Structure 1
Amino acid sequence: MFLQGPCHNREELFDREDELRTITKALKNNAWVAILGPRMAGKTSLAIVSANLMGKKTFYVNFKGAENLRDATLRILSALGRSKMKGIKRARVGPIEVEREVEKPSAILEDVLLGLKKAVVVFDEVQDIKQGVNQFLNILSLVRNTRRDVEFIFTGSAIGLMDSLLNPDPQNPLYGRSPIKIEIGPWDLQTALEFLEKGLKKCNAPFTSKELSETIEELGTLPGWLSFYGLRRCTGISHKKALEEAIGEGVKVARGELENILRNRPEWARKVLRAMAFGAKWSELLKLGPSKSGLYKFLTTLQKLYLVSKKGNLYVISDPIYRKACLEL
């Protein structure tokens, strides 16, 4: 149960029955689906399992770090088993070999996607694509209109390409045909406890109720963080050591995400994140240096990334692992 990678079949996926049922019904009715939620919530697992239940060819493409259409096209071609981008030739400039683009990525991508038959395509972390969004939407619209035997599942946070998919304006080619939106988040306490208990029993790892409570208190209830712990317990590592390593690994992942968010942002953004680890009011955050409009935009982005929630008049980093990572910034 405590997998290092995403689940691929129903037996591996814990919980999420309602979401799985909704997604498969949508796909059977030729609707596309967008799965939103924080990192480590299990979006990728839910998407892949849903796709594999459809009885069609499944293609999985991870867009993590692919900021433009060309990068996205290369990853799609790789996922489809094509090692080289059609239209990209290598040329030598002095002693250096470089790539020379002779055809637009949009034309290549259109040709590739329109050539799919009886397939479900999972586009993971689509929020990372920020350049070439309009071209991508035009291609998806063309596929939507001409390939009724091809469905798409998009996963990510509600920014970038995902925001354009879910909130199209009248000029958007997908206006009126947005994907069905599915949101997943941390488990409730009882479900998280059941996940740990079932997984630890399955691998015959000893545990106490106190240990499970301590694990959830330190890691929260996102499936990914709990799997970090469970996997270590199943290899024979003690509770104390497994929890320590899971926290360390989780904070490392979370800090990487936060540093990526802070890239090219002013120094006040780092201070704002630190302050929200403890919970902070709007007025308190303004004292850290941002303008009202700058702070509003930053908080909106963080909320769309499922990193910040508002509790009363406080803005809070609700996940304990991200909270620990914020304090290390």
Structure 2
Amino acid sequence: MTDLLNALSKNLSQIVIAIDEAQILRMMRGFGKIDFTQVLAYTYDNLNNVKVVLTGSEVGLLHDFLGLDNPKSSLYGRFVEELTIKPFSRDVSIQFLITGFRQYGVEVTINEVLDVVDGLDGIVGWLTYYGNARVRGISNINEIYERAMKLIDGELKPLLNKSIYYGLVLEAIARGRKHFNEIREYITLRLNKYVAPGEVERALSNLMKMSIVSRVTHGEYEIMDPIIRMKFSQV
């Protein structure tokens, strides 16, 4: 890998390497696989004309993978520029959709735009998904949401198969159980058995690292993605 990067560096004046969902690279370490943190560290230290852009929706896992603050990581102490794409405000979301529809010549009522904006919480990816679906001729909003939830099903399946607690935690929060004790009580009732606090804590911690759940004021937890929230409120 470093040989390839060296060859590219010598033959090109500027190189930009972009890796989407880069937190997945952490699974490549060990057992003779490539440790990409070592590759990135080598690139950082030796190839000045190579720039690397890493993107990831699971921010906590991406930070853990890079280990910029971990003395045991190959990337420890390296300086990086970090850009966080936050949800659009309500006004920006409305303008984003209206401008997009105008550019494509698609007529959508303002009431529909307002309903969608209020439902999607300014998440850029889902606003784009909705807009693209409408441009392609899918006018039934519920159908668009159903398709989005099926997409989420596929993305979450590997996680949900690891432990029953992930799905139950999401279900509890989506149904209004916001505090730890409420979440644990909900899971206990669903499973009809004693649930150790550590099981719930572990599930919540991992879901927060994956940026699926966040902890907000007064010790409350919330699901960050409106489509995930919608899906688990319907279980």
Scaled by the length of structure 1, what TM-score is found? 0.60
Report the residue type matching 2:232 in the other structure. C
The answer as to whether partners of 1:286 and 1:292 remain within 8 angstroms in 2 is: yes
Alignment of 1:49-198 (within 5 A): 109-117=1-9, 118-133=14-29, 135-156=35-56, 157-160=58-61, 162-198=63-99
Q: Is the Cα–Cα contact under 8 Å of residues 279 and 317 in structure 1 kept in the other structure?
A: no
Q: Secondary structure at the match of 1:129?
A: helix
| Paired position in structure 1 for 2:191 | none
Residue in 1 that maps onto 2:225? 319
SS at match of 2:55: strand
1:256 matched residue in structure 2: 154
Counterparts of 2:134 and 2:173 in 1: how far apart (Å)?
32
Q: Of 305, 312, 317, which aligns to 2:210?
A: 305
SS of structure 2 residue aligned to 1:181: coil
The answer as to whether partners of 1:219 and 1:320 remain within 8 angstroms in 2 is yes
Q: CA deviation at 1:278?
A: 2.6
Name structure 1 gaps, 5 residues minimum.
1-108
1:207 corresponds to: 108
The match for 2:128 among 227, 248, 254 is 227
Shift of residue 166 of structure 1?
4.8
Q: Which residue of 1 aligns with 2:142?
A: 244
Match of 1:10 in 2: none
Q: 1:276 — aligned with what?
A: 173
Greater relative contact order (Cα < 8 A, sep 6+): 1
Per-residue displacement from partner, 1:216-252 (whole Å, max 9, x unpaired)? Answer: 23333222222232223334444xx1x2232112111
Q: Deviations over 1:241-284 (max 9, x none)?
A: 1x22321121111222222222221x233211100113321012
Match of 1:62 in 2: none
Check conservation: 2:68, 2:78, Cα contact below 8 A.
no
Give the SS at the match of 1:207.
coil
Q: Percent identity?
A: 28
Q: Deviations over 1:170-192 (max 9, x none)?
A: 12221110422221132111111
Distance 1:305 1:178 in 2: 23
RMSD (Å) for aligned C-alpha atoms: 2.3
Instruction: Tell me how far 1:111 sits from its aligned partner.
Output: 2.0
Distance 1:171 1:325 in 2: 39
> TM-score when scaled to structure 2?
0.81
How far apart in 2 are the matches of 1:172 and 1:228? Answer: 37
Q: Residue deviations 1:100-139, cap 9 Å, x none?
A: xxxxxxxxx2322333222110011111233344722122
The one-letter code sitting in structure 2 at the alignment partner of 1:246 is I
Distance 1:244 1:303 in 2: 28
CA distance in 2 between partners of 1:273 and 1:132 (Å):
28
**Is 2:59–2:210's contact at 8 Å kept on the other side of the alignment?**
yes
Matched pairs, number = 217
What's 1:294 paired with?
Answer: 199
- Bigger strand fraction: 1
Q: Provide the rounded CA distance (Å) in 2 between the counterparts of 1:161 and 1:316.
A: 21
